[in-house]
Structure 1
């Protein structure tokens, strides 16, 4: 029987595999070799990983949502979005200075300020015109205090959108409290905002951190880490479907080799962390390992039920030929009994 890993070894395992789950390397821009962590620093980093594991596999903490919903290429489009998020001036708008405004007249003044403040924004968009503003939505599940969502969104904007003009409006009249932010694409320093996938994940992390600062449990865990293998439909697709303009319906099955590779990597990381914690001398670690084992079993169940090609009924109809085409689940080597891997 293998001996339990010493604390430094356990810390190293948690950091190595935990970083892959919660802090993927493509989010880190390494401009110089990273310094090695001392024993104290490694232990703190390992504890930070533990603090991310428990909300994910035990408490299933609420996940924040940060989404870019579009953006205007002209002042006409930007002004139209101002009217939409403020309900034509009925809701209060707050700008980057913390100043608030309300009413239709304030919307006209705001549009004029954006038109002439900095690089001039054209009245109408021309072919090939770049976005002059981005529309962002920050949301939390039902039951979250809307005022805390608003405060966290304000601090998020101050941290992530510094030097940009922006306005924000709280919507608390729907099921999920959320904040709309319209941000000018070019900052006062001439830097253009160009949000990509990694930026969106960092934005989610920042928003979740601000919410936790107000005592609200919130996480920004990647979907594949928490066994969510399907991407939500984009807003344009949902609206096109509602209007009957959607020509092609996206498949509900699992998507492509890239997603399968990400899923296998996530399962492998969870198994390695579970094995390490199961051999820990701390009872809390061993208990956490049991939760991870249950979570990993659930990942396999979710994968099978989410993919219609793997449902028992369809497999029975299509016969053994279809079951042979099903992608096999990744199998780790020689797992001990205290970590039950899905079969």
Structure 2
């Protein structure tokens, strides 16, 4: 059982140093923790919609801050709310908010410091927009309300319900907001919990837990690809072509790690499913079947670079076959 718990902990919380036999929790707390973990497993393997929490950009300087607040409020036409619940309506209040945020902004400011962190909170089409706003409001209060000023606005101009949350970087205590990658995942977990409290089915699962190998493209790269001016994509194609034409080239270290990580993820899910399949309850056995179905539909062990190399190999093979199929010319 300890190996299964280790697998479960690794799936839900990432790699940990597991000390077998260590009484980390008393029996009652351990059972409660395990029950909550199994509820999380049920949501993940049922493919509950994943929340999106994305840092969309930053603003530097008074003009940029005001321009961004005018953008998210559609030049004051949309009503925003701040960390205290005060409604901000119209161009004048938007302008006053931007000016208030810039007062004392030189405190702890470096040449490259940002004055805002711009966040988008989103859920798939069909999500109740009013409930999403309530969840976003709860998220803002919980994560930033005690330390930072912010404005929250809901946008209804796309199929994907989403809210813009612009946070003043300089906190009330004088510390500046500087989010890291781990912070984003922690924010996703809090936002997903807020969504569930509002009756929205939501989860915040790391990519590795879902066996996702390919990383999402950054917004700038997506826009460049769409406009067919992406130097990044051209560079990737050149790199892939060099790899497929080099007989000695093998998997690059990042690709090898990604493949090995998914193999570990698959092994962990299989171990949890095997343990549950031996449960005396029908609920445990049903969850085991759900996990196995989840495993069966897990993405391929293939990074973007590996996929591009495979496509190039197929293209080169087709070109060779076409060339070999042409009849030889005779004089």
1:1-343 equivalences in 2 (<5 Å): 9=1, 12-24=2-14, 36-57=24-45, 59-116=46-103, 118-120=104-106, 128-161=111-144, 162-249=146-233, 256-299=255-298, 302-303=300-301, 307=307, 314=314, 317=317
Q: 1:317 to 1:246 in 2, by over 3 A?
A: closer
- 1:286 Cα deviation after fit: 1.9
Aligned partners of 1:15 and 1:49 also within 8 Å: no
Q: Secondary structure at the match of 1:303?
A: coil
Aligned partners of 2:83 and 2:141 also within 8 Å: yes
Q: Distance in 2 between matches of 1:219 and 1:66?
A: 12
Aligned partners of 2:259 and 2:301 also within 8 Å: no
- 1:238 Cα deviation after fit: 2.3
Q: 1:251 to 1:316 in 2, by over 3 A?
A: closer
Q: Deviations over 1:23-71 (max 9, x none)?
A: 2258x9xxxxx962222222211111211111222x2111100001110
How many correspondences in the alignment? Answer: 296
Q: 1:304 to 1:135 in 2, by over 3 A?
A: closer
Q: 1:315 to 1:13 in 2, by over 3 A?
A: farther
Gaps of 5+ in 1: 1-8, 29-33, 319-343
Q: Secondary structure at the match of 1:280?
A: coil
Q: Distance in 1 between matches of 2:165 and 2:309?
A: 40
Q: 1:193 to 1:20 in 2, by over 3 A?
A: same
Question: What is aligned with 1:325?
Answer: none
Q: 1:294 to 1:315 in 2, by over 3 A?
A: farther
- 1:19 Cα deviation after fit: 1.7
Gaps of 5+ in 2: 241-250, 319-331
- 1:316 Cα deviation after fit: 10
Q: Secondary structure at the match of 2:85?
A: coil
Q: Deviations over 1:93-124 (max 9, x none)?
A: 111111112222222111111111x4348xxx
Q: Distance in 1 between matches of 2:286 and 2:308?
A: 34
Q: Distance in 2 between matches of 1:279 and 1:317?
A: 48
Q: Distance in 2 between matches of 1:74 and 1:258?
A: 41
Larger CA Rg, structure 1 vs 2: 2
Q: Deviations over 1:167-199 (max 9, x none)?
A: 111012211111111111121101221111110
Q: Distance in 2 between matches of 1:82 and 1:246?
A: 29
Q: 1:154 to 1:292 in 2, by over 3 A?
A: same
Q: Distance in 2 between matches of 1:73 and 1:35?
A: 49
- 1:308 Cα deviation after fit: 5.3
